[in-house]
Chain A
């Protein structure tokens, strides 16, 4: 085991030292995206709420904030879906079962799933943005009778970029309506083609009783929120998960500051009405 993943010595904060987690399984979701199932070496489950993230690392390559994609009701196994985009994520994606990764967390404000009981809930996801929403989907489906209509609107670039494609059917059978679209496809694809916002227009939402959990590239979220507001939803009922240059994960370093908030501490989940004033400020 690498030195930095040794047991945390007395007097050192667990918030600043990664805990060792072993890779139990690895699944390739798309050509550049993998889902890892991890187990803590300590044997203590990492309790978390849907939408929270951890700082994930492979020794020698630095940390990245990655949302937890697992089942909040089964915290003994930690699930992370990681897209290989740079040095750090590529190193994590190269990990194999048996390897050890470092985990700090969980951090951040979760999706307000308990607060939304009684509502219709729309899950609006773009690309790998479905990963931070998977834990919310599992939470909602485990308590299906407490919610009204549950609807997933999911868009990706191409059919081979859809994550969790093998799980959509099972979610549908448990009471989640699923609408999927891709930006472009060949003629062999028999599903929807078009931007994800178009799915919202087709969904016949009951605006006053609908709340939205949205995650994806920031541009996609802005377009999606514009569409939802146009359809009559209130900005107080729309929640987004933000991403910035998160470093410490505990609100100390300030790298992830956006306006008056720190994404790692006050986010990553925000009400749209709270974060909207800062999103369009180019300098931030």
Chain B
């Protein structure tokens, strides 16, 4: 197994995938570095890539009028960044900023989508994993919406 395949297989998202599928995914990846405080991607850009963080932290940010940048979530080593590449219109939703120097694997999304079209088992495996990842993120978002630390007990 090549170094990139090993790296990918160690990530929780790709863990347990068949070696032939890991090879197909690794063929679409390349290592990149991002300096601290630099943007890895910007909202509304084409989602033609997604990333696996090897080291460092990426902050997902939203910019609101009059509010400036708000950090929605931070992502860390072993986590994937981005799922907009899976669904049309393939547009990024947030800004992604490195809050410290980061090493990542960048994946060529159109190429991997094409491989999924050719190999539906690969597509199913990837979709299953990303769906689980999205379900966790959705639950987290609902928790944030609940504002659980708010002033719920005003009687005291």
* A residues in contact (CB < 8 Å) with B: 64, 85-86, 88-89, 126-128, 155-157, 161, 181, 183-187, 189-195, 197-198, 201-202, 216-217, 219-220, 223, 243, 245
Determine if A85 and B61 form an interchain contact, defined as CB atoms under 8 angstroms apart: no
One of B44-52, B105-113, B114-122, B142-150 contacting the partner: B142-150
What residue of chain B has the Cβ atom nearest to residue A194's Cβ?
B73
What residue of chain B has the Cβ atom nearest to residue A156's Cβ?
B149
Determine if B148 and A219 form an interchain contact, defined as CB atoms under 8 angstroms apart: yes
Residues of chain B contacted by A88 (CB below 8 angstroms): 156
Determine if B74 and A192 form an interchain contact, defined as CB atoms under 8 angstroms apart: yes
Among candidates A161, A192, A197, A201, residue contacting B143 with C-beta atoms closer than 8 Å: A197
Determine if A187 and B154 form an interchain contact, defined as CB atoms under 8 angstroms apart: no
B68 within 8 A of A: yes
The 5 closest A-B pairs by CB, nearest first: A127-B149, A157-B149, A217-B148, A86-B156, A193-B71
Determine if B68 and A187 form an interchain contact, defined as CB atoms under 8 angstroms apart: yes
B127 within 8 A of A: no
Residues of chain B contacted by A192 (CB below 8 angstroms): 57, 74, 76
Q: List 14 A-B contacts (CB under 8 A).
A: A89-B156, A183-B147, A184-B72, A185-B71, A187-B71, A189-B71, A192-B57, A193-B59, A193-B74, A197-B140, A198-B140, A217-B148, A219-B143, A219-B146
Q: For this complex, into which size category does the number of interface residues on chain B fall?
A: 20 to 34
What residue of chain B has the Cβ atom nearest to residue A190's Cβ?
B99
Among candidates B70, B136, B140, B143, residue contacting A186 with C-beta atoms closer than 8 Å: B70
**Tally of contacts, chain A with chain B, CB under 8 A:** 82
Residues of chain B contacted by A161 (CB below 8 angstroms): 149
Residues of chain A contacted by B71 (CB below 8 angstroms): 184-187, 189, 193
What residue of chain A has the Cβ atom nearest to residue B140's Cβ?
A195
Determine if B153 and A85 form an interchain contact, defined as CB atoms under 8 angstroms apart: yes
- Bound complex: CA A220 to CA B146 (Å): 10
Known: A86-B153, A183-B144, A219-B146. 11 other contacts (CB 8 A): A86-B156, A183-B149, A184-B70, A187-B68, A192-B76, A194-B73, A195-B143, A217-B152, A219-B143, A220-B143, A220-B149
- Bound complex: CA A84 to CA B136 (Å): 33
Given A89-B156, A195-B144, A157 contacting B150 (CB threshold 8 A):
yes
- Minimum CB–CB distance from B81 to chain A (whole Å) comes to 13
Determine if B74 and A194 form an interchain contact, defined as CB atoms under 8 angstroms apart: yes
Residues of chain A contacted by B136 (CB below 8 angstroms): 201
- Bound complex: CA A49 to CA B125 (Å): 51
What residue of chain A has the Cβ atom nearest to residue B139's Cβ?
A223
- Bound complex: CA A198 to CA B68 (Å): 25
- Minimum CB–CB distance from B101 to chain A (whole Å) comes to 13
B69 within 8 A of A: yes
Residues of chain A contacted by B61 (CB below 8 angstroms): 187
- Bound complex: CA A64 to CA B156 (Å): 7
Residues of chain B contacted by A198 (CB below 8 angstroms): 140
Among candidates B149, B154, B155, residue contacting A126 with C-beta atoms closer than 8 Å: B149
Determine if A202 and B144 form an interchain contact, defined as CB atoms under 8 angstroms apart: no
- Minimum CB–CB distance from A62 to chain B (whole Å) comes to 9
- Minimum CB–CB distance from A204 to chain B (whole Å) comes to 10
Residues of chain B contacted by A156 (CB below 8 angstroms): 149
Given A193-B72, A193-B73, A184 contacting B144 (CB threshold 8 A):
yes
Residues of chain A contacted by B76 (CB below 8 angstroms): 192, 202
Residues of chain A contacted by B143 (CB below 8 angstroms): 195, 197, 219-220, 223
Residues of chain A contacted by B155 (CB below 8 angstroms): 85-86, 245
Residues of chain A contacted by B154 (CB below 8 angstroms): 85-86
B97 within 8 A of A: yes
- Bound complex: CA A133 to CA B139 (Å): 26
